[in-house]
Structure 1
Amino acid sequence: MRIVKLTLFYIVIMALAMALSLAGVRMSVALGFFALIVAAMIYRHIHILYRTNNMQQVDKFVRDRQKQPFFAHIYAIAYGTRADLINVLGDVASKYKQPTIKYNYLFNKALLEENLEAAKEAAKHIVKEPFKTYSACYIAALEGRTADMHSDKLTQMWMQPAIEAAYAHQQKDKREFERFASSSIDAARGVQKYALIHTFEQMKTDIEKS
């Protein structure tokens, strides 16, 4: 359906460019107008993915694309059950060959399954920074190895407080969990912020139930 919509959109834009040309506007100007519209669309997508703090905007963006592998995972975080998310993570991981992407999904799947050994095995195959260090620090947090929870390689600002939140969650310390979860969310933007909000909501529920 999205392919049909995009095709129709580009046909309309091209038709408009042709109409402007026939009306006496130079073709280069008409095509430039078309290029500006396309650039604006690309910028909007990039802004929603990486920069916005408008979570309603992100939510609509995710819901509209929930059939795509990457967004299927994000959608399941927000709207699915734990079992749904585990199934989606396994399915999405099977679609990627690039090690860091594939094993990052398998790492998160193992965490949800509370299978620390499987998480460690997946982490061995995550070779790209800062995700390699993030997975190692996250495992350290779950094992209570506080000296190994910190690293200068955690270059995305949301990562270190997310590790601290994971440790507080493991310790069932609701107050510290909420403090670090809030710091992590505040440091993130776009889809990452959206995913953190819903992930931490579930983790908070887990603490309250324990």
Structure 2
Amino acid sequence: MRLLPFIYIFIFGVALTVALLSIDLSFWLIYAVIIAVYIVLIVLPPVYTIYKSNNLKKIERFLENNKRKPLFAFPLAVKGGNREEIIRAIQVILSKYKQPYMKQVYKTNLALFEKNLTLFEQHAKQISKEPLYTYYVAYAEAWKGNFEKSQALKEKLPTGWMPSAIDAVIAKEKGDLIDFRRAADESIRLARGVQKFNLFYSFEWMEKETTK
């Protein structure tokens, strides 16, 4: 993580404190203002990048600056497109994070990149929260070629990137690369933050696998 921006923020905070003291505000009001400013300048930018940014280059810079954290190393591994590196990145996540829901989701992803449909479906059905349960089960049905069932499950998903992602998986399994690209682009357009980055390179990876 780059230190220089934090030095600038600290200097700004000191200058702001001096300015507020010069107009005789109460200690607690000054304290509240400084805390609010630090939250806006330090906490909100990374939160925005993770969840809301639409700028892939900015998201990638954030991931590179935080790649020691397994959850941020995984999307970079997907970008690299090397199956073994992706699998290792997921295995690190599984070793570091013990929350059941997180383990369920990443075990499902591990089975996906290992091309193990049986395990993928098994782990998908163990995911304990919506909408990812329905999303991954719909994905499994598409992978099995049960397109009508996958479409029916897709209809239960909330508006956003997930329905289009399922359309892309269905198109991929049908071998329709034109529909795959159209649905993939729509899913990426609707996504934000790290999810957008992950989808962009996941679909790129899927397309390469399809055309091998």
Tell me if both proteins adopt one fold, taking TM over 0.5 as the criterion: yes
Q: Which residue is equivalent to 1:134?
A: 135
1:83 aligned counterpart, secondary structure: helix
Q: Which residue is 2:145 aligned to?
A: 144
Q: Which residue of structure 2 lines up, in the alignment, with residue 174 of structure 1?
A: 177
How far is the alpha carbon of 1:14 from its aligned partner? Answer: 6.5
Deviation at 1:88, TM superposition (A): 0.8
Contact 1:78/1:198 (8 A) holds in 2: yes
* Cα distance in 1, alignment partners of residues 81 and 177 from structure 2: 24
- Alpha-carbon RMSD: 2.5
Number of residues paired by the alignment? 208
Residue 87 of structure 2 is matched in structure 1 by 86
Q: Is the 8 A contact 1:137 1:148 kept in 2?
A: yes
Letter of the 1:94 partner, please give it. Answer: S
Name the CA distance, whole Å, in 1 between partners of 2:24 and 2:46.
29
Q: Would you say the 8 A contact 1:99–1:125 is kept in 2?
A: no
Q: Which amino acid aligns with 1:187?
A: L
Unaligned runs of 5+ in 1: none
- Mapped partners of 1:7, 1:182: distance in 2: 36
Structure 2: gaps (5+ residues): none
Structure 2 match to 1:61:
62
- Residue 185, structure 1, aligned to residue 188, structure 2: yes
SS of 1:30's equivalent?
Answer: helix
Residues 35-74 of structure 1, C-alpha deviation per residue, up to 9 Å, x if partnerless?
2322313222222112221111111111111111211112
| Shift in alpha-carbon separation, 1:146–1:54, aligned structure 2, 3 A | same
Deviation at 1:89, TM superposition (A): 0.5
Residue 32 (1) aligns with residue 32 (2): yes
Deviates more, 1:57-66 or 1:156-165: 156-165
Aligned-pair identity (%): 31
Moved more, 188-197 or 116-125: 116-125
Whole-Å Cα distance in 2 between the matches of residues 196 and 70 of structure 1?
15
